[in-house]
Amino acid sequence: MSKKKMDKAPKSGSLLVELLTEELPPKALLSVSQSFADEILNGLVRHQLKLRDFTGRRVFATPRRLATLIPGVLAEAPDRASEIVGPSVKAPPEAVAGFARKNGVEIAALERRDTPKGAVFVARVTLKGAVLGAVLAEIVNDAARKLPIPKVMRWGEGEAQFVRPVHKLVMMHGKRVVPGTVLGLPAGSTTSGHRFMGAASLRLSDAGEYEAKLRKDRVIADFAARKSEIERELLAEAKRQKAGLGDYQDLLDEVTALVEFPAVYAGEFDASFLEVPQECLILTMRQNQKYFPLFSLDGKLLPKFLIVSNMRVDDPRAIVGGNEQVVRPRLEDARFFFNQDLKTRLEARVPQLAKVVFHNKLGSQLERMQRIKLLAGEIARSLGADVMQAERAAELSKADLLTAMVGEFPELQGVMGRYYALHDREPREVADAIEQHYRPRFAGDKLPEGPIASAVALADKLDSLAGLFSIKELPTGDKDPFGLRRAALGVIRIVVENQLPLSVKDLVDAAFGPFRGKPQTDLKMFFTERMRSYFLERGYSANEVEAVLSLNPVAIALIPKQLEAVRAFSALPEAASLAAANKRIANILRQAEAQGETFGDADVSAFKEPAEISLFEALQTASHSARPLFDSGDFAGYLKAFASLKSPVDSFFDAVMVMTDDKKLRGNRLALLTAMRKAMNRFSDISKLAA
């Protein structure tokens, strides 16, 4: 009796599932571990072995393991009552008997139920709850199949497929091993510690001791805890070196996915390498070696770097020396590429762009550069900037694509162009524009500075947009292989945030110059949609944005100020009434136009009702006050000047029939409403606020 009780599975307990693998892809580790844990939880919920409750759930991820610990998992789901609808009461007795037999009930126990399709038999049955030991392997196998990984592999002689070979499987419910096979491996209670400093076999006696037992065996299983430990050690070591880390967050995530028990050590390299542009050295160390470069307080690279090692030792000289030896040839390569590139002027590389295809329907990079050069000059002229410098920067903007350094590190395009241009004694404005014409490269990135860099950056993005739209290479759904949404948003940000007096319509017209005969409407609509998204993300409401954009504004640099004006107007107590009145006026005028109504300017002497005379006079007074405010750019003041129309407008619609049978009077009233709508909606459609 006592032995039977001891062998019986617990009713509820913590469930641990771990896959011990070869080194997992570091950049995908976080997403893969989260997906693995989510899918296991979903499977347990689906079988009613766990409530959909994330409280207390743990997700573990190291280079060699994916694991999750889920509390409150049932060993067996409770039975549940269910009703199964069967055949019609008019069905043959054989069919009714078969239905009862299939569901394990007596014919006499079947119930009758009326439905829209007639009376039917219903069987009441009790469904047996799922047993954890019977379904867990299937749940984990399913979770492994659903991981967000593009490629899987096979290993050994088995047929199992996973992102990396799997060597051990742990499935424990409390103190008990849950039997089952996943990816060809039987479940057990044995994992492994640190690859070099831990035990090859580490037996668990309870699922809940997983994290603590691994920690003792030099594995920090929790990704966030490991990341926090690395960052703490990095900052402490940088402080000891009297240096800064620069921008290190992206690399921190990647390095956290490469180690299980981190230790930070400082290394050095020969200071003579600092003659190479620091961007090259930084990229070499971060991208190739996963080192953290160190910087002086003024942001200059120091001949030092930090190593995050997977080995914590008392004497790290061998580790540091080995890494210093490894980084030297990498830095030598960077110096070699740089010195070789300096032997050829940028302008000498330009003709070779003819051999580089931009797009098979849009020609070479040389042809594209020539289009950008013309467009950059035209934009610079509109900005009152030096046209020759803008055209020179555009001419050299793509030349560094043919350099050895950019060939090795494509991320440095533009950056290296600037260094090489300065070496060739090009004007600094030209060199800066070469680097900055790719900006903004991503959301939140810095913008090009100054009119010359802005002109080249705009020309570069507009040429891509116009060219690809002309051959119907448009973004579809979430697919945007040429980054056209990013390019359009870049144009908008440059014009709006740099406050450039440019019209998107004029820019699009100019960009389509080399693609004559191609429709431009699609691109203009595309820009409108991007502007809508841009301003919504900046916190303006949909109605506020629609009020301004619906009038197709020309000077988009003024839109933020106009949106602020619309927002200020919306806060006025008179706003709701005037917005509704504007909507009503718009509908009246639309119907009148459809009926072929024609009219000139409003004539006060032709009015009959006091209410329409009062509205006319109030509109004249408000317009007189508002006009200089608009001319000075005080858009908020302009709209507020019309708040005084609320009472006259309300009285007008209470007392006046606009569409009267008297044609002359009707035309005069329509003219008054037209004048009011034009005055109030000079830069925004106030009626949109009533939507």
440 preceded by a cis bond (ω within 30 of 0): yes
- From 216, 250, 272, give the residue that closes a domain: 216
625 shares a domain with 515: no
Q: Which of 181, 162, 137, 209 is nearest to 65 (CA)?
A: 162
State the pLDDT confidence band at 1, using cuts at 50, 70 and 90.
very low
| Confidence check: pLDDT of 399 > 60 | yes
Residue 558 within a domain:
no
Question: 625: which DSSP letter?
Answer: H
> The tokens of 675 are what?
């004048």
User: 18-22, 402-406, 472-476, 483-487: which range is least confident on average?
Assistant: 472-476
DSSP string, 126-192: EEPPPBHHHHHHHHHHHHHHTSS-S--EE-TTS--EESS-EEEEEEEETTEEPP-EETTEE-BSEE-
CB neighbours of residue 538 within 10 Å:
11
Tell me what pLDDT residue 431 has: 97
547-571 per-position pLDDT tens digit: 999 999 999 999 999 999 999 999 9
Contact indicator for 282, 49 with CB cutoff of 8 Å:
no
Tell me what pLDDT residue 633 has: 92
Q: Which of 426, 533, 423, 510 is nearest to 461 (CA)?
A: 510
What's the whole-model pTM score? 0.81
- Chain-wide mean pLDDT for the chain? 92
Which CATH number do you get for residue 212? 3.30.70
Residue 627 within a domain:
yes
Contact indicator for 321, 337 with CB cutoff of 8 Å:
no
Residue 543 within a domain:
no
Percent of the chain, pLDDT > 70? 98
Which CATH number do you get for residue 362? 1.10.3210
Helix 223-240 with 29-46: angle, nearest 10 deg: 160
Alpha-carbon distance of 86 to 121, in angstroms, equals: 5
415-434 per-position pLDDT tens digit: 999 999 999 999 999 999 99
- Residue appearing with tokens 């307990």: 13
Q: Which of 15, 21, 36, 60 is nearest to 221 (CA)?
A: 60
| Confidence check: pLDDT of 658 > 90 | no
Percent of the chain, pLDDT > 90? 77
> The tokens of 23 are what?
């080194």
229 shares a domain with 89: no
| 177: β partners | 172
| Confidence check: pLDDT of 7 > 60 | no
239 shares a domain with 179: no
> Can you give the residue range of the structural domain that contains 107?
80-127
357-392 per-position pLDDT tens digit: 999 999 999 999 999 999 999 999 999 999 999 999
Tell me what pLDDT residue 2 has: 41
103-162 per-position pLDDT tens digit: 888 888 888 888 888 888 888 887 788 899 999 999 999 999 999 887 889 988 788 899
Alpha-carbon distance of 416 to 160, in angstroms, equals: 47
User: 216-220, 256-260, 288-292, 585-589: which range is least confident on average?
Assistant: 585-589
| 69: β partners | 16, 58
533 shares a domain with 405: yes
Which CATH number do you get for residue 615? 1.10.730.10
Tell me what pLDDT residue 476 has: 86
573 shares a domain with 621: yes
User: 45-54, 605-614, 645-654: which range is least confident on average?
Assistant: 45-54
163 shares a domain with 267: no
Tell me what pLDDT residue 656 has: 87
- From 520, 538, 556, give the residue that closes a domain: 538
Q: What are phi and psi of 131, to 5 degrees?
A: -105, 130
Tell me what pLDDT residue 86 has: 87
User: 1-10, 171-180, 303-312: which range is least confident on average?
Assistant: 1-10
Alpha-carbon distance of 439 to 414, in angstroms, equals: 10
Q: How many residues does the chain have?
A: 691
Q: Which helix (H) or strand (E) holds 74?
A: strand 65-74
- Residue appearing with tokens 């402080």: 239
Tell me what pLDDT residue 506 has: 93
141 shares a domain with 21: yes
358 shares a domain with 336: no
Residue 549 within a domain:
no
Q: Using H for helix, E for strand and C for coil, what is the string for 514-548?
A: HHCCCCCHHHHHHHHHHHHHHHHHCCCCHHHHHHH
Alpha-carbon distance of 219 to 213, in angstroms, equals: 9
213-260 per-position pLDDT tens digit: 999 999 999 999 999 999 999 999 999 999 999 989 989 999 999 999
SS3 124: strand
303-344 per-position pLDDT tens digit: 999 999 999 999 999 999 999 999 999 999 999 999 999 999
Tell me what pLDDT residue 353 has: 96
Residue 636 within a domain:
yes
Read off the pLDDT of each residue in 527-539 and give the average, rounded to a whole number.
94
| Confidence check: pLDDT of 510 > 70 | yes
56-82 per-position pLDDT tens digit: 899 999 999 999 999 999 999 888 777
450 shares a domain with 323: no
> The tokens of 182 are what?
């996943």
Alpha-carbon distance of 559 to 632, in angstroms, equals: 15
Alpha-carbon distance of 400 to 405, in angstroms, equals: 8
Residue 546 within a domain:
no
166 shares a domain with 47: yes
148 shares a domain with 64: yes
State the pLDDT confidence band at 691, using cuts at 50, 70 and 90.
low
State the pLDDT confidence band at 679, using cuts at 50, 70 and 90.
very high
Tell me what pLDDT residue 282 has: 96
174 shares a domain with 84: no
Half-sphere exposure of 2 (CA within 13 A, CB side): 0
Residue 545 within a domain:
no
- From 216, 232, 267, give the residue that closes a domain: 216
Residue 58 within a domain:
yes
Tell me what pLDDT residue 539 has: 94
Domain count, the chain: 5
